[in-house]
Every structure is written in structure tokens, then in C-alpha cells.
Amino acid sequence: MRKTIHWRFTLILLIVGFMTAVQYNTLKVPEIRDTRDIWAIRKELSSEKQSHSELLSEIRELDKTIHTYESLNNENAGQALSTTVDKLNRQAGRMDTIGPGIIVEVRPSAESVAFGIPITGISPDLLTRFVNELNRFKGIVLEIDGKRYTTLSSIRDINGVTAVNGINIATPPFTMKIISPTLSDSEKLYNFLSASTIQDDFYLDNFTLDIGKPIQELKISGWTEKFKNEFLKEIPKGE
């Protein structure tokens, strides 16, 4: 009888001890702390606020478009639709763009030429970093070696050669055109690129960036590739 009581008592103590240990570990394990400094947090907050502002701007534009369609009659609906299509084509980069901008030329560095270092093409990583630097500025239009760069574009390595939109980029020297919304924006972009460390990245790959001063009128041709429609279907007339 005593042995049975002892076993029961021991089992109860084991259960109580196990539950106490689990509770103790739960309370003692610290939560993962955010070790970033205040400037990193402020930078991320600023980025989130900018994204929020851009989303609000897009919502306002869409609300304006909806209001325009609701206020039009059948006769003017066609013209409004045509205007919307032109706007979307412009945003997608399918139309020629003329505006203030700068021309950036990628050249082999003077040292590589003097020492006879073989000139190779620009790497996809370096070109992508340059594009990411440009994306700090909103509303820009970019052309890389005569190839229109849009949100649908890609920078890839194809058989050892860097390609934009599936078309090979020339071995330097080649030019890149950048159009900004205003001449003032082009001047800001010029100053930013002139002081940016991206030039050091190019120099490490034996290239230099020749950044031209802003000009009032620069032309970039539209994207000539066709869009692949995978989801939209045309409704037959009369429906």
C-alpha cells in the first residue's frame, strides 16, 4: 500500500516539476529584440511613408478616372477610353518621350586602356546597382544602349553577355539616357550621380561614368516589344 502511495506521489511531483520548468523557460526566454539603431528605423519609416504616399496618389488617380467615366455620356466615353489607353501606353514606355534629362556614357577606364587590360562587357550586377540608384528618383525614363528600360524589363546574363530585354548590351563605350519630370529634377539627379559611390563600383570593374550636364530636351524612343495578353479577352460587340 505504501509503495503505491509513493509511486503516485512521485508521479504527481514529476508532473508538477515538468509544468513548472516549462513555465519558467517560457518566462525566461527573451523575445527577439530589434537591434537596429534609430537612424535605420527612421530610414525604414521614411521609406514606408513614401510608399504610402505613392499608393494614395495612385488611388486618387484611379478615383479621378472612375469619376470621369461616370460623368461622361456614351458619345464621349470613346474619347475618354482612348485618352486612358494613351496614358497607360506612356506609363508602360511604349511611346516616345521627350523632356529634360542627362546622358551618361560608360567608358573603359584610362588605366585599363594604358595597361592593355582586355575590355569586357558590363556585368548584370553592376548595371542593376546603377538602375537601383536611379530608382531613388521618381518619374524618370531610362534608355540603356538604345534599349528602353521599363518595369517589365529585365537585366540578365545570356551566354556570358549582359542583356536588357533579351538584347545584348554593347561592350563599353555605350550611352544611357535619363529623362526626368523637370529640369530641376535632372539637375538633382546629376548632382546625385556625381557624388554617388556608384562611380567607385564602376571603377573597380575598370569602367568610368561620364555624366553629362542636364539638357532641356532629350528624346527616348518607346519600347517596341509587344505585350503578351494572358488574361484579358475581348468582348464581342453588342454584349
Strand, helix or coil for residue 53: helix
Alpha-helix residue ranges (DSSP H) falling in 72-210: 74-91, 110-114, 124-134, 183-195, 198-204
Give CA separation, 197 vs 100, 130, 190, 201, in Å. Answer: 24, 10, 13, 7
If 0-12 CB within 10 Å is exposed, 13-18 middle and 19+ buried, where does residue 145 land?
Answer: buried
Read off the pLDDT of each residue in 171-181 and give the average, rounded to a whole number.
Answer: 93
Among 3-7, 14-18, 85-89, 191-195, name the most confident range.
191-195
Three-class secondary structure of residue 199 per DSSP: helix
**Could you tell me the pLDDT band of residue 35, with boundaries at 50, 70 and 90?**
low
**Across 6-10, average pLDDT:** 63
CATH level 3 topology of 98-220: Alpha-Beta Plaits (3.30.70)
The rounded mean pLDDT for the chain is 79
Average pLDDT of the residues in 62-87: 68
Q: Kindly state the average pLDDT of the residues 206-219.
A: 92
- State pLDDT tens for residues 108-160: 988 888 888 888 889 999 999 999 899 888 888 999 998 898 877 889 988 88
Are 155 and 124 spatial neighbours (Cβ–Cβ below 8 Å)? yes
| Percentage of the residues of the chain whose pLDDT score is greater than 70 | 67
Residue ranges of the chain that CATH labels 3.30.70.1880: 98-220
Quote the pLDDT of residue 136: 86
What pLDDT sits at residue 93?
65
Q: Is the pLDDT of residue 54 over 90?
A: no
pLDDT interval class at 20 (50, 70, 90):
confident
Compute the distance between CA of residue 128 and CA of residue 65 in angstroms, rounded to an integer.
Answer: 34
* Residue 166 pLDDT: 85
Q: What mean pLDDT is predicted for residues 15-40?
A: 64
Whole-number pLDDT of residue 34: 58
